[in-house]
Structure 1
Amino acid sequence: MDVLALVLLPLPLLGAVVPAAFAGGGTRRWFGGRGESSRAGAQAAKDAAAAAFYELDSAQRDLRISIETIVAVDSSPAARKAAADFEAFGRRIDEVSHQYITAVDAYDLDRDDLEASAAARARTELTAAKDALGRAKQDLDRFAQGLGPLVDKAETQLARLAPAVERARQTLLAATGALDAVRGAGLKADDLAGRLAALGPELTKLNQGAGRHGVAETLQRADRVARDAEAVRAEAERLPERAREIDRRLVSLRTRAQALTTRSEQVEPVLSELRRRFTAACWQDLQRVPDQAAETVRQAENRLAEAQRAREEQRWPDATALLSTVRALLDSTDEAVSAAGDRLRRLNEVAKDPRAEIERTRFAVRDAQRLAMAGRQRPDPRHARPLDDAVARLDRAVDALEGRHPDYWHFLTEMEAVRSAAARVVAQIREERGQGAV
């Protein structure tokens, strides 16, 4: 064989290889007519089913995020039902996805020897899978639309989460600063410090996040921490003024106790005059006022001393409570001491001329009688009976003044009782007529 023959020999072999290489790898046979059309139809059905599968999978993943958001925030029956319905959709999607995957795996559309009948079956099964995937997608979309209110509510709460937690942290920081400023001014605030320290574990849970404790619980905790820390901050800022107020009250109540001591010493001369001029019934209930006043003032002074010690030790709640006790004791003493003088004044007035008290009481009864008769021929027995009793009681009290030593105090209390009875009838009539108007 010569050199020319060696050079030309490979050329027919190259011509045989090149067409196969351009045909797609040298292994597929080219089909024409009905067979190739069936393969193309099956491939188109496969592509359409793949697109439907992708759309359904994307919709399911997006909706799962919404469901997880709802469940994290909302524990209502509606939220629980939404989660259960989504799980049911998940099972249905698994079924149609399995149908699709089975159809894809059953046919190799790239096989050279794929028969037209097999391609037709593949097209039918893949089309059915695509339709099932599409129906599931439509139902899932309708379900997602129905979740709109729940999603909006959950997203609103999630939008509140970060600001609420930050607000709680900032309020805690402000409370800490206010407490440090108070202590720097030389004031104790142990109770406030204790309350602030108690919020430490709550802050730790806030920092752990909603992923661990839930959105709803975290929101509640943030609001609670902010509220409690704000209360501590406000009280810390008021503490200097509170200390000054306690100092003012100590001085004022001490002065008042001293004044009451002087006034209580004047009760005995008043009682002496009452005994001399009026019957025992007019003053017997006042006999122990001087002793009781002295004892009550003594108790008040002891509480004042305790309040002073509490102030010096900066036990602010104790000092405030003790001062309130002192005020109550002095109020009761003031009332008792005043009662003796007031009793003598009223008895003097009625003894001199009881007519003003009688006319005042008769006017109250007549006014009630006029109201009871307004718009009626005869009064309602429920109104007339107590008014008749009041008139009889008034007459008896007036008649009792004719005796040699009238009980003026009994007379005064009877007049008050008659006026009260008339006032009750008036209130009853007005209430009944008001209800009738409605």
Structure 2
Amino acid sequence: MDRARADTVRERDVTGTRGRRYVNDVLALVVLPLPLLLAAFAAGGGGGAGGGGPRRWFGGGRGESQRAEAQAAKDAAAAAFYELDTAQRGLRISIETITAVDGSPAALRAADDFAALGRRIDEVSHGYITAVDTYDLDRVDLEASAAVRARTELNRAKDELNRVKGELDRFEQQLAPLLEKAETQLARLAPAVERARAALLAASNALDSVRASGLRADDLAARLASLAPELTKLNQGAGRHGVPETLQRADRVLREAEAVRAEAERLPERAAETDRRLVSLRTRAQALANRASSVEPVLSELRRRFSAACWQDLQPVPAQAERNVGQAEDKLKEAGQARDEQRWADATALLATVRALLNATDEAVSAAGDRLQRLNAVSKDPQQEIERTRFAIRDAQRLAMAGRHTPDPRHARPLDDAVGRLDRAIDGLEGRHPDYWHFLTETEAVRAAVARVVELIREERGGGRGAH
């Protein structure tokens, strides 16, 4: 609507219309010549004679009553207009809040609906302003019929204003969830930006402290510097970049700055841990180099006392151990250089490679000694391994028969297979050069198969599915 005109009308109508009319009447009386002034008071007080005489301004009568009713209708319409205008102004702020934060279809629809309501408000406001401008209720010569028309049109304008005000109130109620969501985001905005700034400051201070201790932390400095454009956008504010994007940016800056700060604070400890691992792995590599030299005598004894099947897979161990230890030592040198250059990620990766090489070497060297020990034991007394395996089978068979007259075929069949497999392994010990290693791997495999059956039985009975 024409705001300047509407405000002027509202001010004119709401504040003191009756008072101004009274002042005008008094001024009219004051400027009259004295004889006319006396006549006017005589007409007002004495009622006059014969229907003639001057017009009555302050007396009763139907004309004055119609004027008063029209003025009352005008005052009521002005109040309705003021209420509608105030509600529209407040709701416009709510819509602007929503659209600044929310770009969802629901928010866009709300903005369109408000614009449509605004056009209807303009229409009824125009009708009210036209009615006010058409009739000057302060005129002393206003006809009673004009006062009646004024009252009718002003009442109609008031009803229209109240009707649209009701629509505006219902729209405001429907808008409440969107407004609450938008206000929540706006309430988060300032604290989120402040937290992001504080996190950046804390990261910068932590980085300065680390550098003062002699650590460069170049990668952390680069990561922190990359956040500078984001800080610039945060400082430019949500008015330029939008509330949702600013909130997301603040959260992202907060996470990245806190990560930089945490890594900077851990950097001295990380440097110390890298130094400890370098020393430890160098010592371990030297020890493994010494142990690897003992593999060849072990292989020699295995070749002398047992069949080829018992030691052929261990033949590459000495060369593999020497090669692994050599590679580990080379990687340790690279890791030491990376540590000196404070390339912490590279140093960590190289040390992990060294550990893997030494672990593989340790397992291979240990396997040769363990093989000789186990073959010595079984060659002297294979019966101990046989009884151990038979006990496992019998224990599983008892469990399979517990509470049953006949075993479940799903359990009985693999247990019967285990018995046959053990018997064949025992038969393989006959002869001049038995394959003790095959015997040991077979008994281990039998016990593993039996353990799976036991686990299956316990799972079924634990779940209440055991048959009787």
Q: Same fold (TM over 0.5)?
A: yes
C-alpha deviation, 1:49, in angstroms? 1.5
- For structure 2, the 5+ residue unaligned runs are 1-30, 42-54
C-alpha deviation, 1:390, in angstroms: 2.6
Residue 236 of structure 1 corresponds to which residue in structure 2?
A: 264
**Residues 202-236 of structure 1, C-alpha deviations (whole Å, 9 max, x = no match):** 11111111112222221221121111111111111
Q: Write the distance in 2 (CA, Å) between the matches of 1:125 and 1:54.
A: 17
Q: From 234, 237, 240, give the equivalent of 1:206.
A: 234
Q: Structure 1 stretch 176-185 or stretch 201-210: which is displaced more?
A: 176-185
Instruction: Give the distance between the partners of 1:80 and 1:169, measured in 2 at CA.
Output: 32
Contact 1:66–1:151 (Cα < 8 Å) also in 2:
yes
Distance 1:19 1:361 in 2: 140
Alignment match, 1:30: 57
1:357 correspondence with 2:376: no
How far the C-alpha of 1:196 sits from its partner, in A, is: 0.4
Change (3 A) 1:435 1:83: farther
Structure 1 residues 131 and 253, CA gap change in structure 2 (3 angstroms): same
Q: Cα 1:54–1:369, aligned 2, differ >3 Å: closer, same or farther?
A: farther
Q: State the match for 1:260 in structure 2.
A: 288
Structure 2 counterpart of 1:401, one-letter code: L
Residues 1:207 and 1:407: Cα distance change in structure 2 (over 3 Å): same
Residues 31-430 of structure 1 correspond to what in structure 2 (within 5 A)? 32-430=60-458
Give, in angstroms, the shift of residue 112 of structure 1: 4.2
Deviation string 1:294-320 (CA, Å, 9 cap, x unpaired) is 001000000111111111122121111
Asked if the contact 1:393–1:418 (Cα under 8 Å) also holds between the matched residues in 2, the reply is: yes
- 1:330 Cα deviation (Å)? 0.7
The one-letter code sitting in structure 2 at the alignment partner of 1:400 is G
Distance in 2 (alpha carbons) for counterparts of 1:197 and 1:291 = 50
Query: CA–CA distance in 2 between the matches of 1:109 and 1:404?
Result: 136
1:15 aligns with 2:34: yes
**Distance change in 2, residues 1:95/1:386 (3 Å):** farther
Give me the TM-score of the superposition, normalised by structure 1: 0.87
User: Greater CA deviation, 169-178 or 98-107?
Assistant: 98-107
Any idea what the Cα deviations from partners look like across 1:283-339, whole Å, max 9, x if unmatched? 111100000000010000001111111111221211111111111111111111111
Mapped partners of 1:74, 1:391: distance in 2: 74
Give me the whole-angstrom Cα distance separating, in 2, the residues matched to 1:410 and 1:95: 101
Q: RMSD of the TM alignment (CA)?
A: 2.8
- Residues 179, 233 of structure 1: 8 Å contact kept: yes
Deviation at 1:92, TM superposition (A): 3.5
Give the residue type in structure 2 aligned to 1:328.
A
Q: Which moved more, 1:183-192 or 1:296-305?
A: 183-192
Match of 2:354, as an amino acid?
Answer: V
SS in 2 for 1:229: helix
What's the CA shift for 1:75?
Answer: 4.1
177-186 vs 421-430, which moves further: 421-430
Shifted more, 247-256 versus 51-60: the winner is 51-60
Q: Distance in 1 between matches of 2:442 and 2:353?
A: 35
Which amino acid in 1 is paired with 2:224?
L
Q: What are structure 1's unaligned runs of at least 5 residues?
A: 1-11, 23-27
Secondary structure in 1 aligned to 2:172? helix
- Identity across aligned pairs (percent)? 79
What are the Cα deviations for residues 363-396 of structure 1, in whole angstroms up to 9, with x where unaligned?
3334444444445444443333333333322222
Task: Give secondary structure in 2 for the equivalent of 1:50.
Answer: helix
- Which residue identity is paired with 2:267? L
**Paired residues of 1:29 and 1:112 also in contact (CA < 8 A):** no
Alpha-carbon separation, structure 2, partners of 1:373 and 1:220: 65
| CA apart distance, 1:177 | 1.3
Instruction: Render the CA deviation track for 1:68-102: whole Å, top value 9, x for unaligned.
Output: 32333334454444444434433443333333334
Q: Which moved more, 1:400-409 or 1:322-331?
A: 400-409
Counterpart residue number, 1:4 = none
Q: 1-side partners of 2:160 and 2:32: how far apart?
A: 52
Report how many residues are paired.
Answer: 421
- Write out per-residue CA displacement over residues 113-167 of structure 1, whole angstroms, 9 at most, x where no aligned residue: 4433332232223222222322332333333334444333332322222111111
TM-fit CA distance, 1:430: 4.2
CA distance in 2, matches of 1:92, 1:424: 81
Moved more, 191-200 or 209-218: 209-218
Structure 1, residues 24-54: CA drift from partner, whole Å, max 9, x if none? xxxx983852222222212211211121121
Normalising by structure 2, what TM-score?
Answer: 0.82
2:75 corresponds to which letter in structure 1? Answer: D
**Distance in 1 separating the partners of 2:460 and 2:412:** 15
